[in-house]
Structure 1
Amino acid sequence: MPDITIRIDDKPVLDALNRLSRKMGDLSPVLRVIGEELVKSTESRFNSQGPAPDGARWAALSPATLKRKKHSKILTESGHLRGSIRSQLMGTHAVAVGTNRVYGAIHQLGGTAGRGRKVRIPARPYLGISREDSGRIAGIVERYLEGKV
């Protein structure tokens, strides 16, 4: 875990983490809380049917997909993808949030699938840091620095 790696260049989050890093050697306690928060945020995207972390709406399901499925929820067939979202500490200075489901990548990034790669699946980013996530993460770091987390 994870099969997907997304690097985030989020200045407020990186600035807060760099300040924290200068004060402490092992960031794993605060990173664990950040990872949990990002898992909750990702699960919320599934519940609300988007939007992507950048605020873009997820592409609607095609008529053929709607006809085949039992419901109209995007990125939800069995619930396995949503249920597989986890955070994992990567040493003492990083946390990863992702899925071990191989098909998670095509839903995140888009691409072609099926026999002969004839089916085009649009990108529906569900992993990443939204503007709201960024603010929450910076707040977690600040509270941690103040001894409140």
Structure 2
Amino acid sequence: MAPIVYTLELKSTEAREAVNRLVASMSNRQGFYKNVGEHLLNSTADNFRLERSPEGIPWKRLMPKTIAKREKLGQVPITILRARGRLAGSINMVATNEETRLGTPVPYAAIHQLGGEIKKKERQQTIYQRYNPKTDTLDQKFRRKSKSNFARDVTVKEHVINIPARPYLGASEADEKIIVGIAEEWLLSENPDFK
């Protein structure tokens, strides 16, 4: 798994041509790109809060198994991609005179943005349980080592975990129109006579 950097390329030909024309007239592009980055940071935060892609498509719901695991760990059980807030809180922006880039150093960021498979190799693992000597029974529930009085090694077979794509980085059509507006405003602030 790898971190991800998203470089925005406007999908709309009309928006792309308008921004390129406006940017070509700017003397200080970094300020414009910084404003675009700040807008996209806010838009990305909205995507996490609303649990949807930049295009407004709802993310796939959590599996009941995931919700149960989170509850057991004391995490928020139903929020998608925000069990601890690490990914959502790590989104950062870099603005230069040439571009705006959004990204995150979180190792599992790319697989959540793009989806994919995690292939787990067969491995040995120690599991911990409770043994009741009075009834000579073994409780099948797994426990923490500190709450266990019985341990055994088991083989966990090779398996694949499928992670659905839940895109959070990107720009919607509305974002693209806002970016054109940001370019126009920036150019007017630099050159009040520009039309």
Say whether the fold is shared (TM-score over 0.5): yes
Aligned residues: 145
User: Is this contact kept in 1: 2:30–2:97, CA < 8 A?
Assistant: yes
Displacement of 1:106: 0.4
Give 2:133's aligned residue: none
Give the SS at the match of 2:9.
coil
Out of 114, 128, 152, the residue aligned to residue 109 of structure 1 is 114
1:56 maps to what in 2? 57
Whole-Å Cα distance in 1 between the matches of residues 103 and 56 of structure 2? 19
Shift of 1:137: 1.1
* Higher Rg of the two aligned structures: 2
Identical pairs, percent: 34
Counterpart-to-counterpart distance in 1, 2:63 and 2:78: 10
1:134 aligned residue: 176
More strand by share: 2
Higher helix share: 1
Do the aligned partners of 2:6 and 2:170 also contact (CA within 8 Å) in 1? Answer: no
CA RMSD of aligned residues (A): 2.0
CA shift for structure 1 position 17: 2.3
Could you tell me how far 1:25 is from its partner in structure 2? 4.4
Q: Structure 1 stretches (4+) deviating beyond 4 angstroms?
A: none
Matched, 1:74 2:80: yes
Q: Return the alpha-carbon distance in structure 1 between the equivalents of residues 26 and 116 of structure 2.
A: 42
Structure 2 residue aligned with 1:42: 44
Structure with the bigger RCO (C-alpha within 8 Å, sep 6+) is 1
The structure 2 residue matched to 1:98, chosen from 75, 78, 103, is: 103
Find the counterpart in structure 1 of residue 4 from structure 2: 3
Q: 1:65-122 CA distances to partner (integer Å, 9 max, x unpaired)?
A: 1111132000111101000111102x41111011111200000000112633511110
**Structure 1 residue 27: deviation in Å?**
1.1
Alignment pair present for 1:88 and 2:94: yes
TM-score by length of 2: 0.68
**Is 1:85–1:98's contact at 8 Å kept on the other side of the alignment?**
yes
Quick one: structure 1 residues 28 and 100, their matched pair in 2 at CA, closer, same or farther if it must change by over 3 Å? same
Structure 2 gap ranges (5+):
72-76, 122-158, 191-195
One-letter identity of the residue aligned with 2:164: P
Output the CA distance in 2 between the equivalents of 1:74 and 1:42: 14
- The secondary structure found in structure 2 opposite 1:147 is helix
